[in-house]
Structure 1
């Protein structure tokens, strides 16, 4: 429910406070006084398009602020909190919008700056606005289906949810199957290339790091004689022998040094430590002599082995070059290629699975569609009778609403039929689509009749907004029809908050709260026009109704008529 709206520098309105409350609120005023600006301000709050041209002349920006009171557990409150907004403990949520004269706008939700689109997202759950544009939208089959579905209530929600799940799954699987079949040749070609590549890897059978190991072995075999000569020279230098003749090698020298130190080491700890270290060097030299001897014996020139290594390296290099990397890169590719091949080879299996599931879904979808159609057909008959009864009370006693279901060639996302609302304007006349057979005034009353029927249908209004705003709902009507429009709006206001902009006293008389937009002109160097909003009660309200009836609020006859309207509206409610 909207608690109030505050507007600054919007059109002819310099500053206005529009208090709203439960029940039926009407907004009236002379033509050009600024009634439209009140709805424009509300439209801004609800995420509508910002028009810099609506900023009052001379002002830098216009602003509109609304306070909504949300029921406990409201999804709007949850979404607002998710966006970082603040919702008061009593459920109050403040929404504000500013429009700069330069054209930029800013939206604020619960104290947090948010995108304009978020306000528009929440608008459908906060307020239902009915104006000329909404009446035109009622002509579309989509809006007519939405109205029927809302009237059908929870039974249809359950059936339609099951249908929507089956339809969405069928659509997704059909798209997947189409993708598989469309790219089947590409998949087969890719699979064949992977098989050839994997077969080559399997034939060569590379091992991790093998290319590096073979490179090291080839280097060793290519220089076997030089390596063996160097090892023998080092062995002789350390262990003695060879060209050294009778001269001992390094091992003998180190051993002589050890014995010389050990003979006197008992006399000095420092020298004893040095003797120990020389002994360790001796052990190390002895180990090196042994290993060098073994290295020289093991390393022999082996032309046959060298040829094998070179051929293997060439084979691995060719394979690695194919994959622009090393042997390890080849092995990594092979692992990924194996997984991809399993996916591609599983395409036929997946195709069969999809076709089997699609066949099951087709049966399931038809059953769900039949259930949706059944609920809709029952609801269509009830809605048609309810709206027709309402039209009788709206001075269209001979009119009849006909709700038809036209079967589609192919079930769509919302069922197997399209909803068509036709109007018989009078007995014997052919039923014609609302978009063709209804005038603006008739369409206004049909729309109101549908809203009243929706509001009074058991369970159908559970997900509908708590506030309805009507602009031009009384367009093209007058006299008795106008009285009945007011009565139906009052009836609707028992179920929700209703705000109506009207120029008919017969409608305004039914209001729980009557607001008047008045215009004043200040003369001076520059002529300044400003509008204000005030609540009227008692004599002031009688005077406003008299003005609406005759244009003369001081006319005693008009006042008597206005008072009579008020009295009858109380009795009529």
Structure 2
């Protein structure tokens, strides 16, 4: 239950504390006094969109604070605790709107996203205004009303259908994507297969291009390599026909040098060390000469091998120009291409599987749509009876309400049904859509009847706010509207913004919104009226004056309704 709202610098309200009680509370006041700002402030607490224009001129920000009394196990209490709010004996919600348009929310003393206020509002307050009447002019809203009234049976059937519908839509999209891409898939497959055939025919090996490049260089310069290495070997080891005075190369010279040192090195340790080093050099040169001799023997002067190497390099070059900078990259491309080919070849199987899946899901959603239709029809029948019962309390006892559920001719995201609330306002007339047959006053009463019927069905929202839902109603019908609101207030807190004295007279608590100005600033405030003040307000609402006749009329109205002027 809403206990109080504190409003600061919102519209023409500079600061006001409004206390609410159980039962029926009405807010009245002159046109333009600021009654709408009270409803607007409540909307802000429930997550409605904010606007910098809401901030009172000259103020930096507008602040609305609401205090709700909710049980510990109420969904709003649970959600507030999940958001980190402190919920002790009451739940405090705060909404701040800056002059620049920025908005902040606090739940139970903790900062929270504005969206959390909206979630809490669904469990705390149901706000209905004149704009809600336009919902009856939209066929989709008729379906939503039936679904909400149908509660768990309809909700379960609708959830099952929507799940199947979404799965079917996804499968159809996937199938259409595969079919649409069939030509591109075939072209990609052709390119991949040709590439794989070329690679498989060439059978490249890891690192083969680098190895062949080295071999090509060696074979192409084989003669120069042989001559250079042979000459170096002769210079080191001497020629084979060197006898007597012939050149025995560097090795011979080193041998003679060692002989010369060995004859005297025993006399000087320093010279002995030089002899040792000379011996090491001689061994190294001997090994080098031997390696050069082996290299000369191994130099390949085979022109056929050179031609093959160059041809092989050209063959591999064709692959690297198309599939990678190196043979290793070509081989990696081949592995990836093989996997991709398997994927693309599997698309045909996927198409077959998806076709089966689409057919199965289509049958499933059709079955579930039928179950949803049956659940809606059951809910629609009950809702029609409840609305008619409520209208009988609103001076429309002859009205007949038929909530029809008919085939839409196709399966949509919400099922296969068109739902329409039909009204036969007079005996003998055929039901027609309320969007076409109801007058303004009738539409207000139908809307109120619907709200009362659906409210009693849900039973979870503790507070209902009606913003001039009695627009277009007058006379005896206005008394009936007030009586029905008072009846609803026996099981829930009801707050009504009204311009009708016949409605206001039913109130348990009467609040008046008034404005004043000092010639420079206009202010609006809210006060509770009892006793003669309440009589005066009812007189103003009925006659526009405070004449004795108007006051007497107001007293008679309260007396006729069995209401005390001190309410």
Which has the greater radius of gyration? 2
Q: Which moved more, 1:2-11 or 1:549-558?
A: 549-558
Distance 1:119 1:49 in 2: 11
Is contact 1:482-1:504 (8 Å) kept? yes
* 1:228 and 2:223 matched: no
Aligned to 2:498: 502
Aligned to 1:249: 251
**TM-score, normalization by structure 1:** 0.84
Distance 1:411 1:280 in 2: 97
Aligned to 2:104: 107
Distance 1:74 1:205 in 2: 74
Q: Which moved more, 1:128-137 or 1:230-239?
A: 230-239
Map 1:351-430 to 2 at 5 A. Answer: 351-430=351-430
Distance 1:291 1:67 in 2: 100
Aligned to 1:560: 555
Distance 1:140 1:292 in 2: 100
Matched position secondary structure for 2:41: helix
**TM-score, normalization by structure 2:** 0.85
Map 1:30-429 to 2 at 5 A. Answer: 30-67=30-67, 86-90=84-88, 92=91, 94-100=93-99, 104-110=101-107, 124=122, 127-235=125-233, 245-249=247-251, 252=254, 256=258, 288-323=288-323, 325-429=325-429
How far has the Cα of 1:426 moved from its partner? 1.0
Q: 1:4 to 1:372 in 2, by over 3 A?
A: same
Aligned to 1:474: 470
- Per-residue CA shift, 1:4-37, capped at 9, x if unaligned? 4333333321222233455433222222211012
How far has the Cα of 1:61 moved from its partner? 4.5
Matched pairs, number: 557
How far has the Cα of 1:170 moved from its partner? 1.0
1:548 aligned residue (541, 544, 547): 541
Is contact 2:34-2:513 (8 Å) kept? yes
Aligned to 1:19: 19
Distance 2:97 2:12 in 1: 16
How far has the Cα of 1:107 moved from its partner? 3.3
How far has the Cα of 1:434 moved from its partner? 1.3
1:531 aligned residue (524, 529, 537): 524
Is contact 1:156-1:376 (8 Å) kept? yes
Is contact 1:251-1:285 (8 Å) kept? no
Q: 1:349 to 1:95 in 2, by over 3 A?
A: farther
Q: 1:453 to 1:187 in 2, by over 3 A?
A: same
Matched position secondary structure for 2:176: helix
Is contact 2:235-2:249 (8 Å) kept? no
Map 1:445-524 to 2 at 5 A. Answer: 445-457=445-457, 460-461=458-459, 465-523=461-519
Q: 1:125 to 1:223 in 2, by over 3 A?
A: farther
- Per-residue CA shift, 1:334-385, capped at 9, x if unaligned? 2222222222211221111111122222222222111111111111111101
Consecutive unaligned residues in structure 1, runs of 5 or more: none
Q: RMSD in angstroms over aligned alpha carbons?
A: 3.8
Q: Which moved more, 1:105-114 or 1:128-137?
A: 105-114
Consecutive unaligned residues in structure 2, runs of 5 or more: none
Distance 1:254 1:152 in 2: 118
Distance 1:15 1:534 in 2: 12
Q: 1:309 to 1:16 in 2, by over 3 A?
A: same
Is contact 2:11-2:54 (8 Å) kept? yes
Q: Which moved more, 1:146-155 or 1:509-518?
A: 509-518
Matched position secondary structure for 2:163: helix
Q: Which moved more, 1:88-97 or 1:207-216?
A: 88-97
